[in-house]
A and B are shown apart, each in its own frame.
Chain A
Amino acid sequence: MSNQREQADMFLKQMESFANEMKKAIGLPIIPEPKSGAQLWYDQREITLKFLISVEKIKKFFHEGLAQGKLLATRCKKCGRIFFPPQVDCPYCKTSDMEWIELPKEGELVTYTIITTRPYSFGHYPDYTVGVVKLKNGVQVTAWIRETDPKKLRVGMPVKLEIVKREPEGYLTYEFVPVEEE
């Protein structure tokens, strides 16, 4: 069975080849919707959405954090608040006097879900588990949990942070792995 992204691509390809035949036959990309038979115009324009997102101010998170095997957060030097995801401004003190700190790796699973029906751009992965983990210092982090069997997951279970390479894209990110319990 092909993955969900391929299925979605295939669906549109079928509609497109149908529309192309209609263009040849009647000069119009109009096709009947499979269930209702209602006439649909097959869009003749297409765009790719790909964003260029600034990480200039939080570049340490990547170069001194993930690339060095660490998950970093920021802390306001004035009030001591820890920010994860990292912010370079403390809105409460209205200061930008922040320091980078490494987050602890140990935590417990607060909640989780196993995603089986996936977004288009995640359609090429097998089912994945997303969880929220409370780290030892109380900071909560959302990430994948490396376990997709609901019987082996439970609220409150201990987990450990790992910096991993996400494949097939091949970029550094972070995820949690269940810790063997005594």
Chain B
Amino acid sequence: MTRNVAIVGTGHSKFGNRYDVNIAELAWEAIKQALEEAGVEQKDVEFVSFSNVGGWSSEGLASVVTLEYAGLTGAELYRVEAACASGSAAIKAAHDAIASGQADIAMAIGVEKMNESPTPTVIEFIGRAGNFFWEFQNFGLTFPGYYALYATRYLAEYGATEEDLCRVAVKNHYYASVNPKAQFQMPITVEKCMKSRYIAWPLKLFDCSPITDGAAAVVLASEEMAKKLTDSPVWIESIGVSSGTSNLSRRDDFLHLEAGTIAANRAYKKAGLSRDDIVRHVDVAEVHDCFTIAEILAYEDLGFAKRGEGYQLIRNEETYKGGKIPVNLSGGLKAKGHPLGATGISMAVDLTRQLQGRVEKERQADIKVGRALAHNIGGTGHYAYVTLYSLSKPRR
């Protein structure tokens, strides 16, 4: 018998180039907020799952360094790694600790300090996040390069255009410009995006998420504990997880991410939902738009659009606020920024605040059914997490 788990506190740092703080100071910005929102003290936190990919930053065990700084030393502690989906993996681990009765209060903390290394080094580390020996050693694929393989095939197969990709960037930059926590605060145009230089053809600079420093944290509690702590819990309704091959040469096609599709189906099944009409059951979604093509693939993998029709959603502005299914009203990875370890937790923080109706007015979705969806991909569909958050307590 598993127990219900609720988010009872959220914290989020400013994302961007954070040369003004070290990794523990950065994490503390989010931890402090989350503890204060939840109204709990460090001693109450029994379990911490810590999400940090690292490599580019100096602290090898950022988890213990941060817990010491934050007065959390002594908690049951794990560092989790699922590449860019590490944050969602941390939430899953903390969720499971509570659901299984091993803890009543747990935290998922995510932080990344990517700007401690020069850009080519960061590109190198992320490029190695696939299959190092067979795909990086000889061929030097980069993270934009991996997704560009999908973009090339998608554009060729379905007749979508580079302008369609840029339309995703335009939307997400717009919402970032009204999100004070976002890295980029300036809206862009399709023309500006189209004129930007190629990073990995056909992906251009404005198709790519930036290198970001940032932190996010949530406090999770059991149903019994949540009742004592808050009047407005946000419940973790279901989590679907899957994985994909390390070698991209072993993928069936380059038109969808199989792991993302399976993760979505698993999350929907647990919640008793069908992918055919999923848009009617979700008010707002945060999807993994590390590159513009990734957001379009996500539309299709999640069932927001049929195969080959995802680009029409953005072309028809259906994923703006007020559209068929609002997506990435935070600015997304693309423009809010993508500090790998913090990203999945940042999605949880923003969706919690969306459901509670407390984000900036310009980007506040209409909350009708009381459900939000987070779609977080690690690598190029190497890991996939789809999490449903709800204002209604799940029935067990």
Contacts and interface: CB of A to CB of B under 8 A. Distances in A.
A48 interface: no
Nearest to A45: B58
A115 B121 contact: no
A150 interface: yes
Interface in B36-60: 58
B200 A114 contact: yes
Contacts of A35: 17
Given A112-B149, A140-B249, A121 B124 contact: yes
Interface residues of B, number: 44
B152 interface: yes
Q: What size tier do the contact residues of chain A reach?
A: 35 or more
Nearest to A155: B156
A34 B201 CA distance: 30
B250 to A, nearest CB: 7
Given A116-B197, A123-B120, A38 B149 contact: no
A33 B138 CA distance: 34
A148 to B, nearest CB: 9
Contacts, number: 120
A40 B138 CA distance: 35
Interface stretch (B139-147, B256-264, B299-307, B326-334): B139-147
Interface string A134-154: 000000111110000010001
Q: A interface, by DSSP: helix, strand, loop or mixed?
A: mixed
B153 interface: yes
A166 to B, nearest CB: 7
B19 A36 contact: yes
A116 to B, nearest CB: 5
A146 B57 CA distance: 36
A90 B135 CA distance: 21
A18 to B, nearest CB: 14
Interface stretch (A22-30, A94-102, A124-132): A124-132
Nearest to B154: A111
A78 B134 CA distance: 25
Interface in A133-180: 140-144, 150, 154-155, 166, 173
> Which of B123, B134, B202, B248 has the most CB atoms of chain A within a 10 A radius of its CB?
B123
Given A38-B19, A113-B200, A119-B127, 14 more contacts: A8-B119, A12-B118, A36-B17, A36-B20, A111-B156, A111-B254, A114-B198, A117-B142, A122-B140, A140-B250, A140-B251, A142-B249, A155-B152, A155-B156
Ranked nearest first, the 6 interchain pairs of A and B with the lowest CB-CB distance are: A113-B148, A122-B140, A38-B19, A119-B124, A120-B120, A114-B201
Interface of A: 4-5, 7-8, 11-12, 33, 35-36, 38, 40, 43, 53, 84-85, 110-123, 125, 128, 130-132, 140-144, 150, 154-155, 166, 173
Interface of B: 17, 19-20, 58, 118-121, 123-124, 127, 131, 133-136, 138-142, 144-145, 148-153, 156-157, 197-203, 247-251, 254
